[in-house]
């Protein structure tokens, strides 16, 4: 999501709106927590039979993410194999402390989760920016990752995302308590959430997705992590060379179009990389597992079957 608002919003009535709403479970499954050193409690959902290679679903980062983003795949595979889906730091039922959020925070949390909870090498499926974190785990702790699937991954776009010191200056401005809360409140009204989600769907936006996004953004500390995202602080510059080129596991990319990024660097990157595969899931706008679950799961099944 980008930091802009629907022109129909009633701004004066929103400036002080910080009310908390009830947050239901994102997925119909057992939910547990582990303590991540130097961060806090990380929440995750798990289901499926006790046998088989674990499937771990990693959601994206934006203004209103959670494990709910991975629901279609969670439901599709829950009867076939162990399936797990964490809420990443700052989102869902995971702690939302007022800390300096960086890619390292997410990589370390995901690595701790895989090492302590999943234990055996897993098939990771990660969405958007979550793919950069999952790929780093595959590089830095290869014994934890059997294969990697990236859904509409960031890092292959020619569009520049302000980061570094410029991004930190932006964050210092938008994180001023009154301004930051006001901006986040405007961004997470139901009309605004619906506006941004419409850009990620070719077809209609599921009403339940809007409701859950609204609920998860109206929790204590909900703005802290998203403001670092909006300031460009969670992206890795030159991700193809600094992250993706170092991945040795078999990797599948599923994509089509995306309202916020392009994939112009993907084709050149794939040249000579035998462990990488790519498939377009059309017509989709960044969420292929929501809009075309049959083709998405067929691609996943074929990819995993080819590994033996």
Q: Cβ(216)–Cβ(116) under 8 Å? A: no
pLDDT at 160 over 90: no
Q: In the chain, where are the structural domains located?
A: 11-157+169-305
pLDDT at 13: 37
Token look-up 């119909």 returns 28
pLDDT at 172: 53
The DSSP H or E segment spanning 86 is: strand 83-86
pLDDT at 148: 98
Reduced to 3 states, what is the DSSP secondary structure of residue 151?
strand
Q: Can you tell me the distance from the alpha carbon of 124 to that of 144, in angstroms, rounded to the nearest whole number? A: 10
pLDDT at 57: 99
pLDDT at 257: 96
pLDDT at 281: 98
pLDDT at 15: 38
Return phi, psi of residue 184, to 5°.
-70, -35
pTM of the model as a whole: 0.91
| Cα angle 251, 292, 94; round to 5 | 65
Q: Is 11-157+169-305 a domain of CATH 3.40.1260.10?
A: no
pLDDT at 228: 93
Using one digit for the tens of pLDDT, what is the confidence trace for 250-259?
999 999 999 9
Q: Can you tell me the distance from the alpha carbon of 46 to that of 32, in angstroms, rounded to the nearest whole number? A: 8
Which residue has better confidence, 185 or 114? 114
Span of 84-93, 179-188, 209-218 with lowest mean pLDDT: 179-188
Q: Can you tell me the distance from the alpha carbon of 271 to that of 149, in angstroms, rounded to the nearest whole number? A: 18
pLDDT at 178: 61
Span of 9-18, 65-74, 190-199 with lowest mean pLDDT: 9-18
pLDDT at 308 over 90: no
Handedness of CA 197, 266, 89, 248 (dihedral sign): positive
Which of 2-16, 153-167, 173-187 holds the top average pLDDT?
A: 153-167
pLDDT at 164 over 90: no
Both tokens of 175, joined, read 């994180």
pLDDT at 50: 85
Span of 4-18, 43-57, 65-79 with lowest mean pLDDT: 4-18
pLDDT at 262 over 90: yes
pLDDT at 20: 81
pLDDT at 162: 61
Where helices occur in 163-291 by DSSP H, the ranges are: 164-174, 177-187, 190-198, 207-216, 224-230, 239-242, 266-270, 288-291
Q: Can you tell me the distance from the alpha carbon of 188 to that of 223, in angstroms, rounded to the nearest whole number? A: 10
Q: Can you tell me the distance from the alpha carbon of 122 to that of 87, in angstroms, rounded to the nearest whole number? A: 17
Chain-centre distance for alpha carbon 110? 12
Q: Can you tell me the distance from the alpha carbon of 224 to that of 99, in angstroms, rounded to the nearest whole number? A: 8
Give the mean pLDDT of the chain: 90
């Amino acid at each position: 999501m980008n930091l802009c608002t629907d022109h129909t919003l009633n701004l004066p009535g929103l400036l002080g709106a910080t009310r908390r709403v009830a947050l239901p479970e994102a997925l119909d499954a057992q939910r547990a927590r582990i303590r991540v050193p130097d961060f806090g409690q990380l929440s995750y959902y798990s289901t499926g039979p006790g046998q088989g290679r674990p499937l771990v679903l990693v959601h994206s980062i934006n203004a209103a993410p959670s494990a709910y983003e991975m629901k279609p795949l969670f439901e599709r595979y829950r009867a076939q194999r162990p399936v797990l889906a964490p809420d990443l730091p700052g989102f869902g039922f995971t702690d939302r402390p007022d800390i300096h959020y960086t890619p390292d925070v997410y990589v370390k949390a995901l690595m701790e989760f895989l090492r302590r909870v999943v234990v055996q090498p897993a098939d990771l499926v990660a969405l958007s920016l979550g793919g950069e974190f999952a790929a780093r785990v595959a590089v830095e702790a290869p014994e934890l990752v059997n294969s990697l699937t990236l859904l509409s991954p960031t890092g292959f776009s020619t569009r520049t995302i302000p980061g570094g010191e410029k991004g930190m200056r932006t964050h210092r401005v938008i994180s001023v308590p009154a301004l930051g809360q006001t901006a986040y409140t405007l961004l997470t009204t139901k009309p605004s959430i619906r506006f941004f989600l419409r850009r990620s769907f070719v077809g209609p936006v599921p009403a339940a997705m809007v409701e859950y996004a609204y609920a998860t953004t109206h929790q204590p500390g909900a703005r802290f992590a998203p403001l670092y995202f909006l300031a460009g602080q969670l992206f890795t510059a030159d991700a193809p060379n600094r992250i993706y080129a170092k991945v040795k596991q078999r990797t599948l990319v599923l994509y089509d179009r995306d309202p916020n990024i392009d994939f112009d660097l993907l084709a050149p990157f794939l040249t000579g990389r035998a462990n990488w595969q790519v498939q377009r899931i059309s017509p989709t706008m960044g969420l292929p597992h929501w809009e075309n679950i049959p083709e998405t799961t067929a691609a996943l099944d074929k990819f995993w079957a080819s590994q033996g």
